[in-house]
Amino acid sequence: MRRAFWLAGAAALALAQPAAAGDTIKIGFVSTFSGPTAVIGKDMRNSFELALDHLGRKMAGKPVEVIYEDDQQKPDIGKQKTEKLVQSDHVDFIVGYIWSNVLLASLKTAVDSQTFLISANAGPSQLAGELCSPYVFSTSWQNDQTPAAMGLYMNQKGVKSVFLIGPNYAAGKDMLAGVKSTFKGQVLGEEYTVWPSQLDFSAELTKARNSKAESIFVFYPGAAGVQFLNQYVQAGIKQQIPLYTAFTIDELSLPLQKDNALGVPGAQEWVHDLPNEQNKKFVEDYRKKYAPARPTYYGAQAYDAAQLINSAVVAVKGDTSKKDAMKAEMEKADFKSLRGSFRYGNNHIPIQNFYLQDVVKDADGQLSLKTVATIVKDNQDNFHDKCPMK
């Protein structure tokens, strides 16, 4: 009797196994779903789910299964979760990654197993350069690009000198290097803070003020951006030295930053008011489905990642074993991106526009982001020639 039970169980498993492998598109999604930055992961998940809704939850007629994993913002956990997705879940795609250091730790696992990895946020310089891979695509940017655009804007404004502050991890270093790559004025100081534990920036702000720099540039994603702005305003520096940012003010942090963020410019590849049809639909449906939340660039990038995957799956009619064909299709970036169209460089990093965003009060008195100008068109990252792929 017992034996019959086991046999039946084994048979059921044997039946279930190939069915699961062939009939669904399996996607692993690694992001941060716990701790203070869980709001970012949640926004990415919301947008990804919305993209699946828009696709009828099917790609090339096959149902899509998404497995969400929490990296806890830690490189070691992110690597473990990636290994689990690749080795025991046998996913067809891995998406997500907010943090550059988490992505760098997880990269080898995905590449070695020839699983497609779509970074929906992190863009470490190594990924664009020597670590580029046929199996890795980005729907965001290379870290240096956005701050480099900010540097260009500061040149346009005639800023003569800057003091740079950022967190001491992979992305922080890329960001400050990005500003330096385009800013023509003098860099009077460069401070790195312990990431993610240091939340008090009094020592750095004091140094910035004493450096007599004409401007300050910071990169502080998530809650740290709220804290930095709080302290910047409380120290009275807002009246003395203007602030320029990248990834510090977004729809997640704005409700907490409030008036502190008014008039502080940032550079971004996507803003909610970009005038294209698919973006209007995304923003509208997101606000409807997840009210009162508002979508962010993190979410927009995750949405694009779902569209990119869909384009590849449709091109091979759902046969995800045809990796070369999927790669060739994804290189075309043939889908309607929320930021308008973009194309891929040889290293699978988007070549795209960067916009200047400002914080304004909208009609109902709520603080909101607004696209003010296009800073740079069709911008390609600085590391693509270090990538061996042609």
Partner 1 sequence: MLLVVEQFLNGLQFGLLLFLLAAGLTLVFGIMDLVNLAHGSLYMMGAYFAATFVAWSGNFIIGILLALGATLLLGIVLEVVALRHLYGRDHLDHVLATFGLILFFNDLVRLVWGPAGLALPLPGWLTVPVQIIPGVFYPAYRLAIISVALAVALMLYIVVMRTRLGMLIRAGASNREMIGALGINIKLLYTLVFGLGAALAGLAGLMEAPILTVQIGMGENILILAFVIIVIGGIGSIRGAFVAAILVGMIDTLGRAFLPDLLRGVLSSAAASTAAPALSSMLIYLLMAIVLVARPEGLFPASRR
List residues binding partner 1 (CB under 8 A): 35-36, 38-39, 42, 168, 173, 190-194, 197-200, 202-204, 206-207, 210, 223, 226-227, 230-231, 233-236, 252, 255-258
Angle, alpha carbons 84-63-315 (nearest 5°): 95
User: Other CB atoms closer than 10 Å to residue 134's CB: what's the count?
Assistant: 16
Q: In terms of CB distance, is 220 or 244 closer to partner 1?
A: 220
* Residue 241 beta carbon to partner 1: minimum distance, rounded to whole angstroms: 12
Q: Nearest approach, Cβ of 247 to partner 1 (angstroms)?
A: 17
Q: Among residues 17 and 234, whose Cβ is nearest to partner 1? A: 234
For the bound state, the minimum distance from the C-beta of residue 197 to partner 1, rounded and expressed in Å, comes to 5
Q: Which is nearer to partner 1, 43 or 69 (CB)?
A: 43
Q: Which residue lies nearer to partner 1 by CB, 35 or 242?
A: 35
Nearest 5°: the CA angle 65, 70, 75 is: 125
Q: Residue 30 in contact with residue 99, Cβ under 8 Å?
A: no
Spell out where 297-366 has E strands. 343-344, 350-361
Residue 65 near residue 320, CB atoms below 8 Å? no
Which C-beta is closer to partner 1: that of 106 or that of 260?
260
Q: Which is nearer to partner 1, 208 or 300 (CB)?
A: 208
**Closest distance to partner 1 from the beta carbon of 201 (Å):** 9
- 3-state helix/strand/coil string of 233-260: HHCCCCCCCCEEEECCCCCCCHHHHHHH
Residue 152 one-letter amino acid: L
* Least distance (Å) between residue 29 CB and partner 1: 18
Burial track 41-55 (b if 16+ CB lie within 10 A, e otherwise):
bbbbbbbbbbbbebb
Task: Decide: 97 and 30 in contact? Cβ < 8 Å.
Answer: yes
- Shortest CB 193 distance to partner 1, Å: 6
